[in-house]
Amino acid sequence: MGTIIKGKAVADSITESVIADVKELKGAGTTPKLAIVRVGDDPSDLAYERGALKRMDKCGIDVEVFELRKDVSQKDFLESLKRINEDGGIHGILVFRPMPGHLDEEAIKYVISPEKDVDSFSPVNVAKVTEGDETGFPPATPTAVMEMLKFYGVDLKGKHAVVVGRSMVVGKPVSMLLLKENATVTICHSRTKDLPEMCRRADVLIAAVGRAKMIDGSYVKEGAVIIDVGINMDKDGNMCGDVDFESCKDKASMITPVPAGVGSVTTSVLAKHVVKACRLQTGM
């Protein structure tokens, strides 16, 4: 059986280094601060917010939650966002997405300050990730995938990485990050022909499909590293990934579980990004 690689050790390691950074910044007179902008009270937003608040607290990062009414107008939303952009005491901004349908995300993404955009909403950060410009902020989940691979010593140079999924939040950015680490990357999606065959070519297989247990053992090459980004519910109502863990675990050399895998790393990545934003803005 392959090694089960969990997220907690990775999150703890990142948190430890963020705590040290925050201590240094506080010593120099600045406390990093994150603004969370939430429209309405979607349960998954609230769950992530609770996790983020806990992590920021552990790291010593200040947080202010801007809770806007579910029916907030585009104009009022933009006014709030601009005020947060201009608030010198706030270094990072996380806007929960997807937003309610009456709000125009395509317009909003051009307004969030790229320097404070710690979860890659702004097109400036999307471009920076594509360019490999490290002053940008990739989204938290793809960054968590890369942190997992780094922590567990997976050398990506020259390896064939296959990413299943091409969304802007996971598939595309993680592909760019893998490419930056000199992997050879194949991106698959719903129109890919013979997906199992494509996946069997992977040294590193990243599943970001959003379909419970779709990637089974027949998609996996002996010895592959499997990173499961999926968060789904199985037919019994239990949380599961996009990977059928049971049928893949004996073929993989390393495999992430769900829960307790990639998802556990995202809030520590967010904290790391707030510190990075604070340093870039203050020059400290």
Select the residue interacting with ligand NAP from 169, 224, 226, 227 (CB under 6 A). Answer: 169
- Does residue 8 interact with ligand NAP by CB under 6 A? no
With tokens 């125009």, the residue in question is 104
- Please state the closest distance from residue 265 (CB atom) to ligand NAP, in A: 8
Residue 232 · residue 242 · CB < 8 Å: yes
- Does residue 150 interact with ligand NAP by CB under 6 A? no
- Which lies closer to ligand NAP via its Cβ, residue 72 or residue 274? 274
Residue 267 · residue 52 · CB < 8 Å: yes
- Please state the closest distance from residue 229 (CB atom) to ligand NAP, in A: 4
With tokens 């309405």, the residue in question is 40
Select the residue interacting with ligand NAP from 18, 59, 208, 254 (CB under 6 A). Answer: 208
Can you state the angle between helices 266-282 and 8-27, rounded to 10 degrees? 20
- Please state the closest distance from residue 193 (CB atom) to ligand NAP, in A: 10
Task: Count how many residues are written for the chain.
Answer: 284
- Does residue 94 interact with ligand NAP by CB under 6 A? no
By C-alpha distance, which of 248, 265, 259, 200 is closest to 3? 248
Amino acid at 244: D
- Does residue 164 interact with ligand NAP by CB under 6 A? yes
Residue 68 · residue 96 · CB < 8 Å: no
- Does residue 257 interact with ligand NAP by CB under 6 A? no
Select the residue interacting with ligand NAP from 17, 130, 186, 232 (CB under 6 A). Answer: 232
- Does residue 166 interact with ligand NAP by CB under 6 A? yes
DSSP class per residue in 247-266: HHTTT-SEE--SSSSGGGGH
Query: Contacts with ligand NAP in 176-195 (CB under 6 A)?
Result: 188-192, 195
Residue 119: strand, helix, or coil: coil
- Does residue 69 interact with ligand NAP by CB under 6 A? no
- Which lies closer to ligand NAP via its Cβ, residue 179 or residue 239? 239
Residue 70 · residue 40 · CB < 8 Å: yes
Q: Say how many C-beta atoms besides its own lie within 10 A of residue 24's C-beta.
A: 13
- Does residue 163 interact with ligand NAP by CB under 6 A? no
Instruction: Using the rule CB under 6 A, give the single segment among 9-17, 56-64, 178-186, 261-269 that binds ligand NAP.
Output: 261-269
Give 72's contacts (C-beta < 8 A, 6+ positions apart). Answer: 39, 80, 103
Select the residue interacting with ligand NAP from 210, 221, 239, 279 (CB under 6 A). Answer: 210
Residues that bind ligand NAP (CB under 6 A): 141, 164-167, 169-171, 188-192, 195, 208-211, 229-232, 242, 262-263, 266
